[in-house]
Structure 1
Amino acid sequence: MGLKGKMIGQTVVKHSGVGDVFHDLFSKRPHDLAIASPEKVQGFTLLEGTLGAAGSKICWHYTHDGKESIAKQIIDEVDEVKQSIKFRMIEGDLMEFYKSLIITYHVDTIGEDNLVTWTLDYEKLEELGPHPGTLLSFFLHMIEDIEAHHLDGA
């Protein structure tokens, strides 16, 4: 029997504009994540639909826990006002461990600070499978990579 759960992680980005850059990367320029965070993301392919549009099917090539992996997802929701996207995993390496996995991020701007929140809603195939905490950490560290890349003037 699997285990259902939700994990939420947040990080503050203290440089103005990075929240906008972060959302822009995921919604309009996801292929540039391989430049901003090359140790984590190696590529992106739009399989069906339109960049940043609900209903689109996408594929990520990434490295997680030292393993090159693939993730195919459907974009379930995009909210430009809340700067959020909800991705539903449909195929790939993570589906070896999860019956369902929904990954959502949103950006809140508070003064000059941006708070980026990642939420993982999941159901594991087996309770003893890998803990999703390493995946949440992957996303939180990606924000640091994007911020550093943005500050380098790229």
Structure 2
Amino acid sequence: MALYGKLETNVKIKASAQKFHEILHQRPHHISNICSDKIQGVELHEGEWGKAGTILDWRYVLDGKVHKAKKVIEDVDEEKNSFTWKLVEGDLLELYNNLKIKVQCIPKDEGSVIHYTLEYEKLHEGIPDSHSLLQLCAEVTKDIEAHLVGNNNDV
């Protein structure tokens, strides 16, 4: 079993790539209002919302348990509606030496496709790939889509 891993998924949504990108990247602190059963809070630890180098504290539910993560916004490409978070602190570092979540919001004729890539290095071979984290990303995406399509843009 490899220690380095990469998981990817595409989630089709009816909302625009730009609006989705704006919430997930520039206003993640509003996500807990959209799906509090999955994301309990996102707080600015250091820096400015949406800027590379910014550090965010996340509280989220994964596999039925509340977890904490400190993520730095490592890379931002506003033209491609993409960004990368790198885990710098939190429960998942008990399993991984490093973990990155790359998100690209791709416009389509109707709506958009949200492409997630998880890249990680496990601490040892006994740790399973993080399919549940990828599933959480997909579920949060669908909740944000429902919010945006429902025209509840006053988060």
**TM class, shorter-chain normalised?**
over 0.9
Report the AA paired with residue 3 of structure 2: L
8 Å Cα contact 1:26/1:52 also seen in 2: no
1:89-115, Cα deviation, whole Å (9 max, x unpaired): 010011110001011100111212301
TM-score, scaled relative to structure 1: 0.93
8 Å Cα contact 1:97/1:130 also seen in 2: no
1:124-144, Cα deviation, whole Å (9 max, x unpaired): 001111321111011011111
Name the residue aligned to 1:148. 146
TM-score, scaled relative to structure 2: 0.92
- Name the SS for the 1:94 alignment partner: helix
- Name the SS for the 2:40 alignment partner: strand
| Separation in 1, partners of 2:103, 2:28 | 14
Report the AA paired with residue 64 of structure 1: L
| 1:20-59 superposed matches below 5 A | 20-59=18-57
The correspondence for 1:86, drawn from 59, 78, 84, is 84
Percent identity at matched positions? Answer: 36
| Separation in 2, partners of 1:57, 1:27 | 12
Q: Measured at CA, do residues 16 and 67 of structure 1 come closer, stay the same or move farther in structure 2, by a change above 3 Å?
A: closer
Name the residue aligned to 2:7. 7
1:18-50, Cα deviation, whole Å (9 max, x unpaired): x22221112221111001121110111111111
| Separation in 2, partners of 1:78, 1:63 | 26
Unaligned runs of 5+ in 2: none
Q: Measured at CA, do residues 101 and 24 of structure 1 come closer, stay the same or move farther in structure 2, by a change above 3 Å?
A: same
| Separation in 1, partners of 2:15, 2:40 | 27
